[in-house]
Amino acid sequence: MTSTEKSEKSQNKFEKFKAEKDGLAVKEELEHFAQIGWEAVDKTDLEQRLKWLGIFYRPVTPGKFMLRLRTPNGILTSEQTRTLGEILQRYGDDSSADITTRQNIQLRGIRLEDIPEIFSQLHATGMTSMQSGMDNVRNITGSPVAGLDGEELIDTRQLVKKVQDMITNSGEGNPEFTNLPRKFNIAIEGGRDNSVHAEINDIAFVPAYKEGELGFNVLVGGFFSSKRCEAAIPLNAWIPPTEEAVVGVSRAILEVYRDRGLRANRQKSRLMWLIDEIGLEEFRTLVETAFGQPLKSAAAEDVIDWDKRDHIGIHPQKQAGKSFVGMNIPVGRLSTDDFFDLARLAEVYGGSEIRLTVEQNVIIPHIDHDKIETFLTEPLLEKFSINPDPLTRSVVSCTGAQFCNFALVETKQQALNIAQKLDAELNIPNGVRIHWTGCPNSCGQPQVADIGLMGTKARKNGEMVEAVDLFMGGKVGKDAKLGNRVQKGIPCEDLPAVLRQILMDQFGATPK
């Protein structure tokens, strides 16, 4: 057997189908797919390669696809927001969408036949879904109040946009980065409170002063998977906050990962596994070579020295006479009408702009102080409160079993129902962040929560029932750390009582 034959034999099924045909290739076949219908599309194209374009076949809703967009730094214009509402209204049978934990939007109920026209509408308003799934770089996160916060250190908006443009060829698709070993996350933090959860990203840029100059320390390797979760570690590198440096270092790390990353076992294909195998110093040397110049050693400390903010409520901007208003979107679920209402509010009261947060909430910035009182009378604020109850305020949830075939439990409605029930029963003195995820893939990020819940199955009274594993101890903001699994297999029907006791024992809650 030749070395080539051995290599081919050792490839997992994902590497084999990527070698046969790049995922980006289906972009040229979309019109054909739309004409023949989803049932006639090649199985691998349908279930795998379409994800390169942000199109996700959902076995639990056959014929109705999920479309994942890219919203760099979580910023949408009112025109883009209205366009998303129009797409849902015209093409989305389920008429709903979700804000994700990466400041992003996922549309549901989309038919493959309508994708070419939808893509045309997205392109006309400057939006794209390119390279948003599978072995690609996911939506790039940044501070949701970039350019608004009077205390911010670095405005991340343009840097995030330039990194995305490099990776996706300005949304047209870039074959340089469509064959990574696995998915990849990048975050650029410009504030003091770690609004992007830097520690859970493959690359994170966090503000730091070196010899009096403000720039970024670089962290690498953070990730969640069903087999392993790790916080990002320092690369021992500091860079200036310039496009050349941020885009260049991002490209260099991606090139090293693409060319050297482990591919035989997909459970060991994330960036941290490569760093483990070759060592951090060797990895850093390879990055310097790809970057084309030496990297300065890291600043002694970063400037993440605030507790995490959720941005809900009314907050003054650095622009005189302006405020931004953060609205709580329970578990991130939006309807068609919500998109139209948010677009209208942004235009009537603000600067025709909307921001998304990693907590699945919405910010409307640039509201004149003399318009705030009228803004607060808008009916939408009865649904999306600026002063929600403590648990409802901070509950986060993945898609769950309603739409995702990986999820072992229904998450969104269950998460909201339990949060509202406990809010009604208890006085809770401080915020408690409860994160739900339907499966070990951890899209709902239970490891960063005060209380994390991961879907599983358990036996109760001789029958298999929906259940969760319990995580505790996650911390965000300064001194961020990942929580640990402390209990397995709690039946969901028993969960309200279990959480009630935890809230009373560990978070100072008292009965109302």
Residue 7 forms part of a structural domain:
no
> Does residue 169 lie within any of the structural domains?
no
Taking each helix axis from N to C end, the angle separating 243-260 and 280-291, rounded to the nearest 10 degrees, works out to 120
Position 195 in a domain: yes
Q: What's the mean pLDDT when you consider all of the chain?
A: 94
Active site residue ranges: 68, 182-183, 438, 443-444
pLDDT in tens, 445-469: 989 999 999 999 999 988 999 999 9
Q: Examine residue 328 and state whether it is found in any structural domain, yes or no.
A: yes
Q: Do the domain assignments include residue 481?
A: yes
- What integer is the mean pLDDT of 44-62? 95
Same domain flag for 188 and 303:
yes
Do 187 and 254 reside in the same domain of the chain?
Answer: yes
296 and 224 part of one domain: yes
**CB environment 4-36: b (16+ within 10 A), e (fewer):** eeeeeeeeeebbebbeeebbbebbeebeebbee
Enumerate helices (H) and strands (E) in the chain, giving the number of each.
Answer: 16, 24
Does residue 398 sit in the same domain as residue 483? yes
Average the pLDDT over each of 174-178, 250-254, 472-476 and give the range with the smallest value: 472-476
Let me know whether 201 and 297 are in one domain. Answer: yes
Q: Assign residue 338 the CATH number of its domain.
A: 3.90.480.20
**188 touches 159 (CB < 8 A):** yes
What is the domain extent for residue 262?
Answer: 180-310
pLDDT attached to residue 4: 37
Is the same domain home to 432 and 482?
yes
- Mark which of 337, 352, 383 sits at the end of a domain: 383
CATH code of 227's domain? 3.30.413.10
Phi, psi of 313 (to 5 degrees): 110, -165
Question: Are 301 and 319 within one domain?
Answer: no
Q: Are 292 and 191 found together in one domain? A: yes
Spatial separation of the C-alpha atoms in residues 370 and 363, rounded to whole Å: 18
Is 490 a domain residue?
A: yes
Distance CA 248, CA 240 (A): 11
- Same structural domain for residues 340 and 428? no
What is the β-pairing status of strands 510-511 and 484-491?
unpaired
Q: Given 358, 383, 408, which residue is the final one in a domain?
A: 383
Assess whether 358 and 348 both reside in one domain: yes
Q: How many domains does the chain have?
A: 3
pLDDT tens for residues 358-377?
Answer: 999 999 999 999 999 999 99
Would residue 340 count as lying in a domain?
yes
- The reply to whether 364 and 426 lie within a common domain is no
398 in a domain, yes or no? yes
- 188 and 300 share one domain: yes
DSSP 3-state of 337: helix
- Of 292, 310, 328, the one marking the end of a domain is 310
pLDDT score for 6: 37
Q: What is the mean pLDDT of residues 276-289?
A: 98
